């Protein structure tokens, strides 16, 4: 028989790139294994995975919310409420009972769209957040935001000539999924000099280019708060963006998974696109994605999230239902995580004080760490870092000398990948090169998370490495 080779596979698969878990992350995993050997000979004693927003990762300091885990434990084994009397707070017991009665066994498939009661909780959360109605029938629970985004890219793209507008820099889920489905990424550039702001002009330019190239733009992706930028949109810009979608008949895909990660709430607040579309009474088809993986929830491993459709016909909702039903249902433990996120303990509930303390601590830690890290990175030679008001990341720009560029190219690497690889090899810190997110020609960045506990040690290592690198290669 002929051997199965990469060339015999769907060529779209070969084109997919996903830097967040790419070469560097794989090497970091290898180092982690190597470190178990006492004679590892590596110049560091731990690997810090700063490549991915994974708050509960080993060695990081965002603990799970106790309320969520207690509810989860009780729905796993409901007999516990009687077997361990007094161990669970009353509101936890009540919530678990309510969920168990609705769901039955959490080992059963749920409704493909998600447990109806939990979708009602999500709708109520959205209504309270925005002040506009939300319909549980337009809400789909998912295995995290990625699953929802993938579905819409698959649904919207008709190969070979359709594309989706994506911000640059962007979270590479978008380019990876576009490649997978033979869609064309239509990049529009965010403006680093004004805090990574989004402008209608840059999107119009991208649309014009697409039209010239015969590519039909199907949708506009907005990540707010931004990933990797951390930028938070103001309402005026959001209104302009909605109007732009109206003008060009674009579906608006609003990735709002970082809506609870706001580090300068006195200056930058989050407004959902659902609110803006509702207020403008716009007919723009909007999909807004949320997740339990980020925010103060940080429950990545559960795989939970939702998307809400606005201005979608019943016929298309039925089509979405059909598509999600092939995957049977989102993980029930993720759905329970969604319920806990959108319906946290209220003042007066037995769990409230602990919940408040835990979430306040996480917010404060992220805020202070982000600010400290940005300040110290900015103090380094050849580094410029926007002081990110949202999300979990910083995306510093680094000046890389002609010499670095030459050495990197000779090694077959992008210069920022070369920098990041050297950082990993020397310090055990794994970041993602800017080339994985997209950036302007001739600029170099990397993304790192603001999740590491010992900020002094962490940034100290970054500083020491950077200074040594500059010394070696010049500025």
Residue 224 near residue 232 (C-beta atoms within 8 A): yes
Part of the chain binding a second copy (CB under 8 A), chosen from 153-161, 342-350, 376-384, 422-430 = 153-161
Q: Is 2 in the site for a second copy (CB under 8 A)?
A: yes
* Contact track, a second copy, 335-374, x by CB under 8 A: ----------------------------------------
Residue 286 near residue 274 (C-beta atoms within 8 A): yes
Compute the least distance from the CB of residue 4 to a second copy, in Å.
5
Q: Is 451 in the site for a second copy (CB under 8 A)?
A: no
Binding to a second copy (CB under 8 A) within 303-322 occurs at: 303, 311-313, 315-316, 319, 322
Q: At what angle do helices 415-427 and 402-410 cross, to 10 degrees?
A: 80
Binding test (CB under 8 A) with a second copy, winner from 326, 347, 348, 456? 326
Q: Is 58 in the site for a second copy (CB under 8 A)?
A: yes
Binding test (CB under 8 A) with a second copy, winner from 24, 50, 57, 226? 57
Nearest CA to 18 among 146, 143, 135, 106? 146
Part of the chain binding a second copy (CB under 8 A), chosen from 2-10, 196-204, 269-277, 454-462 = 2-10
Residue 445 near residue 180 (C-beta atoms within 8 A): no
Binding test (CB under 8 A) with a second copy, winner from 148, 298, 305, 438? 298
Residue 248 near residue 205 (C-beta atoms within 8 A): no
Compute the least distance from the CB of residue 11 to a second copy, in Å.
6
Binding test (CB under 8 A) with a second copy, winner from 330, 389, 390, 434? 330
Part of the chain binding a second copy (CB under 8 A), chosen from 80-88, 381-389, 393-401, 405-413 = 80-88
Please compute Rg for the chain using Cα positions.
23
CB nearer to a second copy: pick between 36 and 212: 36
CA 386/CA 460 separation, integer angstroms: 19
Q: Is 35 in the site for a second copy (CB under 8 A)?
A: no
Binding to a second copy (CB under 8 A) within 132-151 occurs at: 143-144, 146-147, 150
Part of the chain binding a second copy (CB under 8 A), chosen from 173-181, 207-215, 397-405, 464-472 = 173-181
Compute the least distance from the CB of residue 156 to a second copy, in Å.
7
- How many residues belong to the site for a second copy (CB under 8 A)? 99
CB nearer to a second copy: pick between 33 and 379: 33
Q: Is 290 in the site for a second copy (CB under 8 A)?
A: no
Q: Is 74 in the site for a second copy (CB under 8 A)?
A: yes
CB nearer to a second copy: pick between 63 and 468: 63
Part of the chain binding a second copy (CB under 8 A), chosen from 83-91, 194-202, 345-353, 389-397 = 83-91
Compute the least distance from the CB of residue 111 to a second copy, in Å.
7
How big is the chain, counted in residues? 475
HSE at residue 375, side-chain half, CA atoms within 13 A, is 8
Part of the chain binding a second copy (CB under 8 A), chosen from 9-17, 123-131, 352-360, 467-475 = 9-17
Q: Is 211 in the site for a second copy (CB under 8 A)?
A: no
Q: Is 245 in the site for a second copy (CB under 8 A)?
A: yes
């Amino acid at each position: 028989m002929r051997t199965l080779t990469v060339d015999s596979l769907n060529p779209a698969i070969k084109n997919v790139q996903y830097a967040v878990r790419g070469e560097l992350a794989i090497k970091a995993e290898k180092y982690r294994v190597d470190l178990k050997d006492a004679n590892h000979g590596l110049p560091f004693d731990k690997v810090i995975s700063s490549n991915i927003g994974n708050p509960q990762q080993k060695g990081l300091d965002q603990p799970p919310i106790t309320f969520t885990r207690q509810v989860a434990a009780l729905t796993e084994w409901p007999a516990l409420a009687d077997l361990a009397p007094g161990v669970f707070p009353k509101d936890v017991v009540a919530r678990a009972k309510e969920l168990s009665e609705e769901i039955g066994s959490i080992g059963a498939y749920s409704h493909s769209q998600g447990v109806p009661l939990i979708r009602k909780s999500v709708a109520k959360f959205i209504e309270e957040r925005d002040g506009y109605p939300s319909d549980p029938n337009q809400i789909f629970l998912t295995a995290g935001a990625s699953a929802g985004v993938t579905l819409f890219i698959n649904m919207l793209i008709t190969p070979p000539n359709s594309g989706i507008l994506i911000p640059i820099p962007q979270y590479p889920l978008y380019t990876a999924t576009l490649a997978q489905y033979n869609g064309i990424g239509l990049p529009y550039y965010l403006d680093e000099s004004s805090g990574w702001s989004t402008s209608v002009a840059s999107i119009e330019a991208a649309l014009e280019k697409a039209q010239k190239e015969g590519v039909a733009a199907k949708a506009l992706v907005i990540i707010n708060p931004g990933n990797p930028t951390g930028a938070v949109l103001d309402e005026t810009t959001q209104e302009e963006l909605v109007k732009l979608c109206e003008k060009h008949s674009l579906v608006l895909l609003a990735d709002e998974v970082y809506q609870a990660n706001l580090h300068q709430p006195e200056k930058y607040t989050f407004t959902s696109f659902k609110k803006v579309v509702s207020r403008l009474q716009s007919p723009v088809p909007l999909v807004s994605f949320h997740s339990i993986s980020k925010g103060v929830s940080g429950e990545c491993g559960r795989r939970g999230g939702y998307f809400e459709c606005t201005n979608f016909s019943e016929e298309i909702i039925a089509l979405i239902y059909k598509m999600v039903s092939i995957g049977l249902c989102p993980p029930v433990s993720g759905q329970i995580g969604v319920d806990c996120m959108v319906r946290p303990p209220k003042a007066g509930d037995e769990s409230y004080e602990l919940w408040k303390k835990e979430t306040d601590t996480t917010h404060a830690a992220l805020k202070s760490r982000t600010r400290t890290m940005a300040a110290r990175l900015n103090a380094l030679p050849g580094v410029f870092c926007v002081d990110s008001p949202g999300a979990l990341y910083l995306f510093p720009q680094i000046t890389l000398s002609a010499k670095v560029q030459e050495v990197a190219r000779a090694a077959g690497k992008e210069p920022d990948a070369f920098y990041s690889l050297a950082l990993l090899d020397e310090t055990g810190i794994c970041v993602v090169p800017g080339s994985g997110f997209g950036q302007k020609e001739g600029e170099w960045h990397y993304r790192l998370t603001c999740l590491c506990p010992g900020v002094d040690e962490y940034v100290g290592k970054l500083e020491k490495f950077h200074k040594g690198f500059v010394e070696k290669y010049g500025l």
